[in-house]
Amino acid sequence: MKHNGYFAMVLDNEWSEVVSRNATMDVVRSDHITIAYKPTDENYQKLLPLIGKRANAYINQYRANESIEAFMVDLICCDSYSLTEEEKVVERVDDGQAHITISHKKGIRPGEANTMFTAPTKTEDRVGYVEGTFKWIPFLKMVVNNEK
């Protein structure tokens, strides 16, 4: 069973603002790092203990192409005394690469970010740090009532 939503490290407002200052495209995101997109039940259960925990993420590179730009995330560390040392280092559990989408052109779908990983037209080494909190973000189902 897949869960309809995603786990993310949601950046604090101050850190999101810092990231957004790098935006060069129309739609500014700069607010989270996806950890698991529509996770399996096993990954969902594994990540549940992280909800509400504080975390730090370390940026090591800027990548962009003509449609999208992002900071690549090298390391995510959970700041919690209730977790073991192994549990404190958090990695993305699906096929994507941990990143913060800075901005993209209008009409670009999130899945198109993969082109930035495989064929970036611009890369720069960057060193940075952001802080945030782990959250579960459910996708809202749209219900259409066809009754007249």
Share of the chain above pLDDT 90, in %: 64
State the average pLDDT over residues 111-138: 88
Q: What is the pLDDT of residue 147?
A: 45
* pLDDT score at 42: 93
Map out the domains of the chain with their CATH numbers: 5-138 (3.90.1740.10)
The reported pLDDT for the residue numbered 108 is: 85
Task: Let me know: does 132 contact 15? Beta carbons within 8 Å.
Answer: yes
**Beta bridge partners of residue 58, listed in sequence order:** 75, 129
Pairing mode, if any, of strands 54-64 and 32-37?
unpaired
Q: What is the pTM of this model?
A: 0.86
Tell whether the torsion through CA atoms of 77, 79, 84 and 87 is positive or negative: negative
Selection from 79, 59, 80 nearest residue 129 by Cα: 59
C-alpha 8/C-alpha 69 separation (Å) is 18
> Which structure tokens are listed for 42?
């096993």
